[in-house]
């Protein structure tokens, strides 16, 4: 079914346009089904990209989001920090301390645009599930403002964490590997982070690194896909000191731009300073990068064979031509090689998966999945091309009610089913 939907989105722009033209209950039903399809098999990466983008587009146009995103029962505590588009609060959700990123109130004319940005970030973040990525707990409306909720990271971001801890090369290499593994997962799922830097890498309670802040992230699709309108494209934003030279020339963020930023993060961790600390203005940094300059090597970046190999990797990631930079997967291989010898951190659960939006989805709408014919009627109505007959009716192979009930029985021992069922009612 995923392949069928992907084929229609790819082949017929009119069908896709009509698909996006719904609103209200119809749009809500389509959003929920798209999210179910994305949850069904995360390994179907090639077919997921256009569905992923369709979910973002439909959410932005309809001003709705999949129902499994919403959480209740959040307790706000205190304001912690503020940024361009939002404020960060510390709160409590079912006894667990959480971070609450709240949409900042602007003039009425700006509210829709900011709301769209927050919803877009939520949808991208919701699809990601990896121990090296900060998990998405859900959306919450506080004082009529939209909030993104995630686990609270008491250890703070990686740069501050390393400044407080005694220098340890092995631990540093493990943290760098954590970031590379997180980036590899993003890129495998067609996600460009677009703002990778030390302040967006946090340290979990078990001292692992995890990537956060997907507010500027974007989805890439194969070149053969239909062209989406400019409403999905971002103006060039991000952090100048971590941006690749092609971005200073007006090009869009893509996977290899993230690789350049990864090298800047690596430099930041090795030296304790952001790239080009000696240059005061961002415009001067841009000029230096465009002239081919890169941050200078310091004594902390040398002294052992591992650090020498790490510096060589860093320089490869800083190549002028994007195609010359290694992929995230190649970076992981080199970090694990005998030349650098980074070791993976032990697999430890740092947050309760029962709080995530992905987990809560199991308790929504315990009904018979639609047949393919029903599915196409819901998704497209009468807008399918004349020669495009629905394929033979059959039940979509998604988790059925018996499976969900079995899961429910298993979880009753954990004494949490009642709470979740009450929340989604």
CATH code: domain of residue 315: 1.10.510.10
In terms of domains, do 243 and 371 share one? no
Instruction: For residue 97, tell me if it sits in a domain.
Output: no
The answer on 171 and 288 residing in a single domain is yes
Residue 98 belongs to a domain: no
In a domain, 141, yes or no: no
pLDDT score of 357: 72
pLDDT value at residue 123: 93
pLDDT of residue 256: 97
- The range of the structural domain enclosing residue 261 comes to 158-224+235-336
Q: Is residue 123 part of a domain?
A: no
pLDDT of residue 400: 44
Mean pLDDT per 10-residue section of the chain, whose length is 425 residues: 69 81 90 85 64 89 90 84 78 91 72 79 91 93 85 93 90 96 94 95 95 88 40 60 96 95 96 93 96 93 92 97 97 97 83 73 56 68 53 42 46 45 46
pLDDT at 85: 64
Instruction: Quote the pLDDT of residue 420.
Output: 43
What CA dihedral angle connects 151, 154, 160 and 165, to 10 degrees? -130
Largest CA distance in the chain: 69
Query: Quick one: pLDDT at residue 2?
Result: 66
Residue 137 domain flag: no
How many Å apart are CA 30 and CA 25, to the nearest integer? 9
Question: Do residues 329 and 420 share a domain?
Answer: no
Output phi, psi for 196, to 5 deg. Answer: -75, 125
Paired sense of beta strands 191-192 and 201-203, if any = unpaired
Same domain, 202 and 310: yes
Q: Is residue 299 part of a domain?
A: yes
Judgement on whether residues 286 and 239 belong to the same structural domain of the protein: yes
Question: Exposed/middle/buried for 328, CB within 10 Å: 0-12, 13-18, 19+?
Answer: buried
Q: Are 306 and 391 members of one domain?
A: no
Q: Which residues contact 60 (CB under 8 A, 6 or more apart)?
A: 116, 119, 120, 231, 232
301 and 379 share one domain:
no
pLDDT at 296: 92
Both tokens of 92, joined, read: 């409590």
Query: So what's the pLDDT on residue 343?
Result: 93
Please say which residue of 336, 352, 381 terminates a domain.
336
User: What pLDDT was estimated at residue 318?
Assistant: 98
The predicted pLDDT at position 404 comes to 45
317 and 385 fall within a common domain: no
174 and 297 in a single domain? The answer is yes
In a domain, 248, yes or no: yes
Last residue of a domain, one of 316, 336, 356: 336
Give yes or no: residues 393 and 250 share one domain: no
DSSP structural state of residue 106: -
Domain assignment present for residue 352? The answer is no
Nearest C-alpha neighbor of 155 from the set 95, 209, 215:
209
Last residue of a domain, one of 292, 320, 336: 336
- Shared domain for 378 and 275, answered yes or no, is no
How far apart, in whole angstroms, are the C-alpha atoms of residue 137 and residue 229? 30
- Domain total of the chain: 2
Q: Looking at the structure, do residues 288 and 370 belong to the same domain, yes or no? A: no
pLDDT value at residue 81: 81
């Amino acid at each position: 079914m995923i392949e069928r939907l992907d084929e229609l989105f790819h082949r017929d722009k009119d069908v896709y346009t009509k698909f996006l033209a719904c609103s209200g209950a119809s749009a809500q039903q389509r959003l929920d089904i798209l999210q179910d399809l994305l949850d069904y098999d995360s390994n179907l990466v090639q077919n997921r990209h256009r569905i992923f983008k369709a979910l973002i587009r439909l959410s932005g146009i309809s001003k709705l989001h999949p129902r499994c995103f919403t959480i209740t029962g959040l307790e706000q505590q205190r304001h912690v920090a503020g940024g361009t588009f939002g404020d960060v609060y510390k709160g409590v959700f079912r006894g667990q301390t959480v971070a609450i990123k709240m949409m900042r109130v602007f003039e009425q004319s700006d509210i829709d645009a900011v709301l769209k940005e927050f919803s877009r970030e939520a949808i991208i973040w919701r699809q990601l599930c990896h121990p090296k990525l900060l998990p998405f707990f859900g959306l919450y409306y506080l004082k009529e403002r939209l909030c993104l909720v995630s686990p609270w990271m008491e250890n703070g971001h990686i740069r501050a964490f390393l400044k407080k801890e005694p220098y340890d090369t092995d631990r540093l290499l493990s943290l760098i590997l954590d970031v590379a593994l997180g980036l590899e997962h993003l890129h495998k799922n067609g996600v460009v982070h677009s703002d990778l830097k030390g302040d967006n890498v946090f340290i979990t309670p078990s001292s692992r690194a995890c990537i956060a802040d997907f507010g500027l992230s974007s989805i890439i699709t194969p070149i053969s896909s239909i062209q989406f309108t400019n409403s999905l494209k971002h103006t060039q934003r991000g952090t100048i000191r971590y941006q690749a030279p092609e971005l200073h020339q007006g090009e869009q963020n893509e996977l290899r731009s993230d690789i350049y930023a990864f090298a800047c993060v690596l430099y930041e961790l090795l030296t304790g300073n952001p790239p080009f600390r000696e240059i005061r203005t961002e415009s001067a940094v841009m000029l230096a990068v465009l002239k081919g300059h890169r941050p200078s090597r310091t004594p902390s970046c040398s002294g052992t064979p591992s650090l020498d190999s790490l510096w060589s990797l860093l320089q490869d990631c800083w190549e002028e031509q994007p195609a010359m930079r290694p992929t995230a997967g190649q970076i992981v291989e080199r970090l694990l090689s005998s030349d650098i010898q980074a070791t993976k951190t032990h697999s430890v659960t740092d947050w309760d998966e029962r709080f995530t939006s992905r987990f809560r989805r199991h308790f929504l709408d315990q009904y018979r999945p639609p047949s393919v014919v029903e599915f196409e009627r819901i998704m497209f109505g009468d807008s399918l091309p004349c020669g495009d007959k629905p394929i033979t009716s059959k039940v979509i192979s998604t988790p059925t009610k018996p499976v969900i009930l079995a899961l429910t029985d298993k979880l009753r021992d954990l004494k949490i089913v009642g709470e979740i069922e009450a929340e989604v009612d």
